Structure 1
Amino acid sequence: MNTLAQLRAGQLAGQKRLDLCCDLTEFPDEIFQLADSLEILNLSGNRLSQLPEDLHRLTRLRILFCSDNQFTELPACLGQCLELSMIGFKANQIKSVPGAALPPQLRWLILTDNCIEHLPVELGERPRLQKLMLAGNRLQQLPSSLANCERLELIRLAANQLSELPEWLVRLPRLSWLAYAANPLCNDTRAPGAADHSQHIDWSQLELGQRLGEGASGVIYQAQWSVSGQPPRSVAVKLYKGSITSDGSPLNEMHACIAAGEHPNLIPVLGRVTGHPQNTAGLVMALIAPSFTNLAELPSFDSCSRDVYAHSLRFSADHALHIARGVAAAAGHLHAQGISHGDVYGHNMLFNPEGECLLGDFGAACFHATDDSPQTRALQRLEVRAFGILLGELLERIDSGLSDQSRTVLEDLQRRCMQPEVLARPGFTEVNEVLRAIR
C-alpha cells in the first residue's frame, strides 16, 4: 500500500500501480503526476463520492478499483478513458449507471453489492465485455442489448430481483459461468429456509483449531468434533460471512452444499452447525488430506476469465484423465440433483499426486428444474462449456502417455463442448461416456 505522503513527495514517479487507502474524501491531484506510467489505480476503502472530470488525462490507465467508497453514480468520466478495460466499484451505494460511464474497451465490470435498478442499453454495445459482476443489486431485468456481447463468458446475477432469465442470456455463445441464486425466479422448494434433512451439529461439540483458509464467503478451520461415547474426529468447519460476495449469498452456497448430496468427487458435508453464540451459519465437512492442492490459481487481471496455472505443472495422461473424469462425474451428479455449480474452474478443484480430484466452492451454485426443457438443457450446457475450457487446459499440460488416437478423441470432445450453439453441446452423460471409453 502506498501513502499520500509518498505521492506528494514525488517518491512514486514512474510507477505503473498506485494503491491509496487513507480515508480520502477527494481525488488527489498529485495522481496526475503519474499520467505517463500509471496503469492500475486502486482507491478502494476510502470515502470518495466523485472522480475528476479530466480523469482521461491518465492516458495509460487500464484498471481502476474504487470499491468500498461512497459513490451513488458510476462516474461518467470513466467513459472518456480510452484504455480503461477493468472497473471495480463493489460495495458503494450506486443507484445510477450512465451509458456515458462505460469506456469503449470495457472488458471486466464489477458492480457487486450496490443499489442498481437499471442498466443502460450501452452496456450491450461494448464488444469486448467478458466478465460482468452484478450480484447484490436491485435489477428486475437486463438490457436486451447484452445479447450482442458474444464474448461474455462470466456473469453474476445473484441476489437481485429478476423474475426470469432471458432466453438470449442462456444462448450466449461463450457464456460458461452463470450465478443467479436468490432471485424471485428461484422459487425452488429447496430454497434457503425450506426444510432440509442434514445432520445438525451443536457448536458445543466442536473445538476449533488452526485456520485453514479464508475466502469471500467464509473462513475454514480445522476442528475436533466430539460426540459422547465416541472418539473425537478431525473435521473442517466453515463459518459463513453474512455479506454479499462477488458470486452471491454465502447462505445460498451453504444450502447448495447440503443439497448436492454425496459423491466421490465432492467434499463430504457432515452436517450443519447449530447453536453458534453469534448465530453464525456454518458447515462441518470432511477434513481433506494435505496431499491435495489447488489445481490452479484465480484468473489474473490479464487472463480475465482464464485460470493461472503453475508454469511447471505437467500431468501424465492417466492423471489428467482421472481429473477430467472426476470433474465431469461431479458436474453430472449435480445436474441430476437440479444444481448448476456455476464456477467449474481449476482454482475450485483440489487434486493429489494420484490424480484424485474434488470439486469445491459452491459460492455460485444455483438450482434449476430437473426436467428436459430447453432452458434446463441450456443451463447445463453452459457448464459443459466451462468443462471444455478445463479439458483444454489439461490437454495442454499432458507430457506423456497419451496416444494420438486418444488425443484426437479428447480434442473432438473439447471442440463439441465449446461450440457456440449451446443446445448442440453434449450433456455430461455423454461427456462421461466418452471419457470412460478412453484407455
Structure 2
Amino acid sequence: MGKGKKEGPKGKKITLKMARKALKITPDGKWRLDLSNMGLNTFPKCILNMIDIEELDLSRNRLKTIPDFIGQFKKIHWLDLHSNYIEQLPKSIGQLEALCHLNVSNNSLGSSGLPEEIGSLRSLQTLNLGMNRLTALPPTMSALSNLKELGLFDNQFTVLPECILVLSNLKKINTKRNPLDHTQGESKDKMSEELYVMRGEDLCKLCLEKCKEERQKNKQKKCSNLIFSGLITPNSVAQTNQELWRITTA
C-alpha cells in the first residue's frame, strides 16, 4: 500500500449459506430476508439465488450503490435500504412492479440520484425519502397513483414538487425541516405536515443521534414527550421490529 493511502473498513461478506439462515417467514406468510445492521459495504450478489423473496431489509449497513440486478426481484413488495450511504438508485428499480413499500431514508441521495423509472412503481403505497439531499423529484412520480404516504423530511426542498400535487390517493406527507417557501397556500391546503410521537428505543442509532441534534437546535420549543417530527409511519427508521405495521398494512 502506497504512502499516505488508506483503505476503508472492510465490510462483512455474506455467503449464500448465511443468507439462507437469515431468511424467515413473516406472520402474514411472506418470505423475508433480513440482512440489516451487518456492516455490509457491497450488495450481496449471492441472494440472486433467492429471487422469490418478498421482503428485503438491507438497512443500517455501509452500502453506497445498489446494483442493476435489483430489478430481477420481481416478487419484492417491501424494500428497506435506510441508513446507508446510497447516492443513486439504479434505473432497474422501476422493474419492481410488485413493490408497495420503499424506504431509502437517511442516505446520500441527491435529486440526480432518483431515476425517472421510479415513476413505474405503480403499486407503491409508501415511499420514504427523508434525510437525504433532495431539491427536486422526477416528474414521472406523478404516475404513482397508489402512493398514500410520502416522507420528504430533512431534505433541501424550497418548493413542493409539482408532481406530487396530482397524486389523488396521497394522504400523508412529511416535509419537516426543509427550507420551503411557506407562501404555497394551495399546496398547504391539500397536504399538511404530519407529526408523530416515537420512543427513543424504537429508533436506530444513526436516526436517534440526528433527532437529538435537532432537539438541541430547538430547545426553546416545549415538549412533554420524545417527539421526532421527521418520521413518517409505517417506517423502519422508527421501528426496528416491523411485524406489527406489516400486518396492519397488508
TM-score by length of 2: 0.69
Q: Gaps spanning 5+ residues in structure 1: where?
A: 181-212, 218-240, 259-266, 270-280, 283-296, 307-439
Instruction: Evaluate the alpha carbon distance shift between residue 109 and residue 94 of structure 1 in structure 2; reply closer, same or farther with a 3 A threshold.
Output: same
Is the contact made by 2:24 and 2:32 (CA closer than 8 Å) also made in structure 1?
A: no
- What residue identity is the alignment partner of 1:101? I
The aligned residue for residue 24 of structure 1 is 40
Q: Which residue of 2 is the match for residue 127 of structure 1?
A: 145
Q: Percent identity?
A: 21
Inter-partner Cα distance in structure 2 for 1:131 and 1:255: 30
CA distance in 1, matches of 2:162, 2:209: 32
* Cα separation, partners in 2 of 1:30 and 1:165, compared to 1, 3 Å: farther
Q: Out of 92, 99, 108, which is 2:116 matched to?
A: 99
**Partner in structure 1 of residue 105 of structure 2:** 90
Matches within 5 A, 1:348-387: none
1:301 maps onto 2:246 in alignment: yes
Q: Does the CA contact (< 8 Å) of 2:118 and 2:140 recur in 1?
A: no
Answer yes or no: is 1:4 the counterpart of 2:24. no
Q: Do the aligned partners of residues 107 and 13 (structure 1) sit closer, same or farther apart at CA in structure 2, a change above 3 Å counting?
A: closer
Determine the structure 2 residue equivalent to 1:243.
210
In the alignment, the residues of structure 1 paired with residue 64 and residue 104 of structure 2 have an alpha-carbon distance, to the nearest angstrom, of 11
Q: Equivalents in 2 of 1:134, 1:17: separation in Å?
A: 26
Structure 1: how far apart are the matches of 2:40 and 2:15?
13
Identify if the C-alpha distance between structure 1 residues 76 and 253 changes in structure 2 by more than 3 Å, giving closer, same or farther.
farther
Match in the other structure for 2:237: none
Give the equivalent residue in structure 2 for 1:58.
73
User: In structure 2, what residue type is equivalent to 1:150?
Assistant: S
Question: Gaps spanning 5+ residues in structure 2: where?
Answer: 1-12, 26-30, 228-241
Aligned equivalents of 1:214, 1:9: Cα separation in 2 = 30
What is the letter of the counterpart of residue 76 of structure 2? L
State the TM-score, normalized to the length of structure 1.
0.42
Answer yes or no: is the 8 Å Cα contact 2:101–2:126 preserved in 1.
yes
Q: What is the alpha-carbon root mean square deviation over aligned residues?
A: 3.6
Q: Distance in 2 between matches of 1:53 and 1:303?
A: 31
Which residue is equivalent to 1:207?
none
The answer (yes or no) to whether the contact 1:4–1:22 under 8 Å persists in 2 is no
Structure-2 separation of matches of 1:242 and 1:35: 35
Q: Secondary structure at the match of 1:17?
A: strand
One-letter identity of the residue aligned with 2:74: T
Contact conserved, 2:66 with 2:86, CA < 8 A, in 1? Answer: no
The answer as to whether partners of 1:67 and 1:89 remain within 8 angstroms in 2 is yes
Map 1:58-77; keep pairs closer than 5 Å: 58-77=73-92
Q: Do 1:41 and 1:61's aligned partners in 2 also have CA atoms closer than 8 Å?
A: yes
Residue 214 in structure 1 maps to residue 179 in structure 2: no
Question: 1:86 touches 1:107 (CA, 8 Å); kept in 2?
Answer: yes
Query: Aligned-pair distance for 1:52?
Result: 2.2
Structure 1 segment 18-417 matched on structure 2, within 5 A? 18-20=33-35, 21-36=37-52, 38-96=53-111, 97-102=114-119, 103-164=121-182, 166-172=184-190, 175=191, 178-179=193-194, 214=200, 243-244=210-211, 249-250=214-215, 255-257=220-222, 300-301=245-246, 303-304=248-249
Partners of 2:92 and 2:44 lie apart in 1 by 16
C-alpha deviations, 1:349-380, integer Å up to 9, x for none?
A: xxxxxxxxxxxxxxxxxxxxxxxxxxxxxxxx
CA distance in 2 between partners of 1:74 and 1:9 (Å): 23
Residues 7, 78 of structure 1: alpha-carbon distance in 2 compared, 3 angstrom cutoff = farther
Larger radius of gyration: 1
Which amino acid letter does the alignment assign opposite residue 94 of structure 2? G
CA contact (8 A) 2:106 2:132 kept: yes
Give the match's secondary structure for 1:243: helix
Residues of 1 paired with 2:187 and 2:84: CA distance? Answer: 31
Amino acid aligned to 1:149: L
Residue pairs, 1:426-437, within 5 angstroms: none
150-159 or 19-28: bigger deviation: 19-28
What is the CA-CA distance between 1:14 and the residue it aligns to? 7.5
Q: Report if the CA contact (8 A) 1:136-1:244 is conserved.
A: no
The CA distance in 2 between the partners of 1:98 and 1:244, in whole Å, is 29
Query: Secondary structure of the residue that 1:301 maps to in structure 2?
Result: helix
Measure the CA separation in 2 of the matches of 1:168 and 1:140.
Answer: 15
CA deviations 1:79-117 (Å, max 9, x no partner) are 111001211112111112222134221211111111111
Give the AA of the match of 1:24.
Answer: L
Query: 1:60, 1:5 → 2: CA distance?
Result: 22
Q: Distance in 2 between matches of 1:9 and 1:166?
A: 48
For residues 244 and 11 of structure 1, do their structure 2 counterparts lie closer, same or farther at Cα, with a shift above 3 Å needed? closer
CA distances 1:290-343 after superposition (whole Å, capped 9, x unpaired): xxxxxxx99713545x9xxxxxxxxxxxxxxxxxxxxxxxxxxxxxxxxxxxxx
Give, in whole Å, the separation in 2 of the partners of 1:251 and 1:105: 39
Shift in Å, 1:13? 6.6
